[in-house]
Amino acid sequence: MEYSSKDVIVGDQWLVLSKIGEGSFGEVFKAKDIDLNRFYAIKRESLELEYPQLHHESVMYDVLAGGPCIPKCHWYGQHDGFDCIVIDLLGSSLKDLQATVRDIPLDIVIDLGCQLISCLEHMHDRGIVYRDIKPENFLFPASFDFGLATWWRNPKTKKPYPECKKPIKFKTGTARYASLNVHRGRTHSRRDDMESLGYLLLDLLLAGELPWSGVTARSSKAGWDRLKEIKEEMLLEDMCLGLPHGIMDFIDYTRRLRFNDRPDYDHLRRLLR
């Protein structure tokens, strides 16, 4: 097959077909391998960005390669003034599932929860915390966006990074699913990923109607502060009213973990089942 001068071919291998998404980081395109005739996704961001993230993402993919929920990174490099990364083309997100199926059956939520526990366990055991648990970041059949993922331990020495003594002013992640410790300005660790997963599962079981859904605020800080108040003041029994005890016990367990504790992932899976 011949290609015209208007065709965009990245890395001499991937033909760009159409734009399928965008965000603060840049854009996502559907592409085709010109030799294998298979489809992939290309993420790109300008080389002029003050805080680029795609190189960081490529490192995360390499470290996590072969684990559950981890798409394969096929290429990373520069093209026409952009950093580009080629990964597996994924399907719909959990956010899409929520919009399509309002009342997701309990057994499906449990199965999804157990899969995501395994995914996070793999990340944590490789020294990484995800830091941005939310439905739109989990695509079938794999996780997708590692822009906010970071190291909880030194990748060379394998020793944990210490917890910051002073509260962190600028929060990372999404307030809707943030753990209490992140709300309080504490350093993100494995426990916070798991507590956030508890809120995500609660969100799925409540058809998107978390107790703090619909809260509005005049600023991002005010919004974070208000959600912190609700999560601190509301009893878990009320938060999980009418749901299986496992989800309440899941959140309670994660809230009791200390900064450097390794979550008991098998125990968390048992709580859901």
Q: What is the dihedral of CA 193, 197, 203, 216, to 10 degrees?
A: 0
Candidates 132, 145, 203, 249; catalytic one: 132
43 carries a ligand binding annotation:
yes
Whether the bond between 160 and the residue before it is cis, its omega within 30 degrees of 0, is no
Query: Which of 212, 261, 259 has the alpha carbon at shortest distance from 232?
Result: 212
Six-digit token string for 6: 């208007």
Residues 6+ apart with CB under 8 A from 2: none
As a whole number of angstroms, the distance between CA 246 and CA 124 comes to 23
Catalytic (active site) residue 225: no
Greatest C-alpha distance within the chain: 64
Residue listed under structure tokens 């959600």: 227
The distance from CA 38 to its chain's CA centroid, rounded to whole angstroms, is 26
Residues 6+ apart with CB under 8 A from 5: none
Measure the CA angle with vertex 158, ends 85 and 137; round to 5°: 35
Count of beta carbons in the 10 Å neighbourhood of residue 205: 22
The distance from CA 273 to its chain's CA centroid, rounded to whole angstroms, is 23
- Report the binding-site residues: 43
- Report the binding-site residues for ATP: 43
Which residues are marked as active site? Answer: 132
